[in-house]
Structure 1
């Protein structure tokens, strides 16, 4: 399978020595969830079940993924206790996106290459949506030297994160079994397979679109990918759709930069700060969060019809 993908884009698909390998677990997991959702999801929907699924999405994707793993552990946009850090990482596991260390690694891989001019094809966004779906949801990078990506040792060797990396799917399945036992099969379908299918596909789609289309207010010198902002996706993804802002201010806990950009994740950070659970919060415009190579510019728009 690796040979098939490399033949499609044999020129600079990945860096010399690195390999693209099939992600068997994440592929099986996606289609296991998606098949269950397609078979039983529609007939299981109801107002209360949908509301419960939305609440779980806010807790697992908003607090767990966007606030806990992305802004907290990866970008260190605030400080918190190890208990809060570990709890947020556990909430991330229940998003159904995968293991925390896998996501930490892939984020560092992407950030490293996208901020260079020699970015390999696997991490660029000059291909079709179909190819991106195939690559990103079915394959993973196996680096020749993980040390070049400078992933903090305290993350790579964190015992709690390592435990969650090995067992993440068991926690999700256990939660599914508990919901089934207490609330019934239909509630389990809506709150687990349907929610997780939407989360995985939604996360991938937001990532693809926010690297291809929208408006940008920054250029990043000597970088292949600058990212774009999108009002709708930003509001729906807890601020993750304001990707140009994020490329320019990676350590900011606030991904929006003006009144018309709705970053729901920022409000979650504000709640945690008000409760005293996080502190020393980094905010663009108030603390030094801007990447040195980020240069403000007049709005640059790019939409699908301009391809």
Structure 2
């Protein structure tokens, strides 16, 4: 397994280093979830956990960070932008600027023919688990990824990047003290463990298996769409659509693709909280390198 071989796994000069905070955070939450999670489950706690997931993953990650800050698929006030970034923090996925950086690193390489192994998906699920959940990329030259300076130097995002885990731990302590230990286990440990592992799993599968209706010229990774994962991940599982239409606030392109994240954006637009929303089929969202083609399917048994 090529875990710490920068020559084989990343571009020359870049380094893969142990992501102690990332992997330590995962197991800090996963172990209590495995020990006490099942016995702590109840209808009320499960409903509360699902609602928190809608706010933190749906509004915070998919809508606020991914479609809003990174891809600028809509415009909104700085106040709402900051609120959605704070919702993202409580998803437990990490600091917002770390995720912004990783997204730009990944997009840069996946849209090139010389994509290094770390950003390709021609390896096993176990190697991807080891790489993506336990390692961190240290680029030799971050400037080549053209990350917007307004994001990197945003005071609120920088504050959240330094302190994100304290907000999550503070919420855990508050839930424990106000409600119960069991509520904290379900609403924090179980929810965030499922979020971290689910986000990784959706990303892995959506780059390897499913159906695609677009090819991206000169790109190593084109992504795939998945009916079930797309619905469960607020639309993030429609990855081929997203690779072809990165600036679209709507990740679904067909009636049978359920993008719950789009309905959240549509609700915000109806309330007048977001505007200039970019939508596939209504505004120019398709990248020039993307070419529509007949359906292409790829499943594990075809390998």
TM-score (norm 1): 0.97
Cα deviation digits, residues 25-70 of structure 1 (max 9, x gap): 0110000100010111000000000000000000000000000000
Residue of structure 2 in register with 1:100 after alignment: 96
Residue of structure 1 in register with 2:29 after alignment: 33
Residue of structure 1 in register with 2:81 after alignment: 85
Q: Contact between 2:18 and 2:135, CA under 8 Å: does it hold in 1?
A: yes
Candidates 234, 237, 242, aligned match of 2:238: 242
Structure 1 residue 174 and structure 2 residue 170: aligned? Answer: yes
> For residues 275 and 121 of structure 1, what CA distance do their matches in structure 2 show?
44
- Post-superposition offset of 1:12: 3.5
Candidates 57, 61, 64, aligned match of 1:61: 57
> For residues 258 and 27 of structure 1, what CA distance do their matches in structure 2 show?
37
Candidates 135, 142, 149, aligned match of 2:145: 149
Q: Contact between 2:225 and 2:238, CA under 8 Å: does it hold in 1?
A: yes
Q: Contact between 2:4 and 2:17, CA under 8 Å: does it hold in 1?
A: no
Residue of structure 2 in register with 1:191 after alignment: 187
Residue of structure 1 in register with 2:4 after alignment: 6
Structure 1 residue 300 and structure 2 residue 292: aligned? Answer: no
> For residues 88 and 96 of structure 1, what CA distance do their matches in structure 2 show?
14
Instruction: Say which SS state the counterpart of residue 224 (structure 2) adopts.
Output: coil
In structure 1, stretches of 5+ residues that fail to align are none
> For residues 254 and 182 of structure 2, what CA distance do their matches in structure 1 show?
41
Structure 1 residue 288 and structure 2 residue 284: aligned? Answer: yes
Instruction: Say which SS state the counterpart of residue 6 (structure 1) adopts.
Output: coil
User: Pairwise CA RMSD of aligned residues?
Assistant: 1.0
Q: How many residues align?
A: 303
Candidates 192, 205, 208, aligned match of 2:204: 208
Cα deviation digits, residues 205-261 of structure 1 (max 9, x gap): 000000000000000000000000000000000000000000000000000001000
- Post-superposition offset of 1:4: 6.7
> For residues 2 and 230 of structure 2, what CA distance do their matches in structure 1 show?
35
Residue of structure 2 in register with 1:113 after alignment: 109
> For residues 122 and 167 of structure 2, what CA distance do their matches in structure 1 show?
37
- Post-superposition offset of 1:6: 3.3
> For residues 136 and 272 of structure 2, what CA distance do their matches in structure 1 show?
38
- Post-superposition offset of 1:5: 1.9
Instruction: Say which SS state the counterpart of residue 5 (structure 1) adopts.
Output: coil
TM-score (norm 2): 0.99
> For residues 113 and 84 of structure 1, what CA distance do their matches in structure 2 show?
31
Cα deviation digits, residues 78-116 of structure 1 (max 9, x gap): 000100000000000000000000000000000000000
> For residues 165 and 240 of structure 1, what CA distance do their matches in structure 2 show?
23
Q: Which runs of 4+ in 1 moved over 3 A?
A: none
In structure 2, stretches of 5+ residues that fail to align are none
- Post-superposition offset of 1:147: 0.3
Cα deviation digits, residues 92-149 of structure 1 (max 9, x gap): 0000000000000000000000000000000000000000000000001100110000
> For residues 193 and 6 of structure 1, what CA distance do their matches in structure 2 show?
29
Structure 1 residue 137 and structure 2 residue 144: aligned? Answer: no
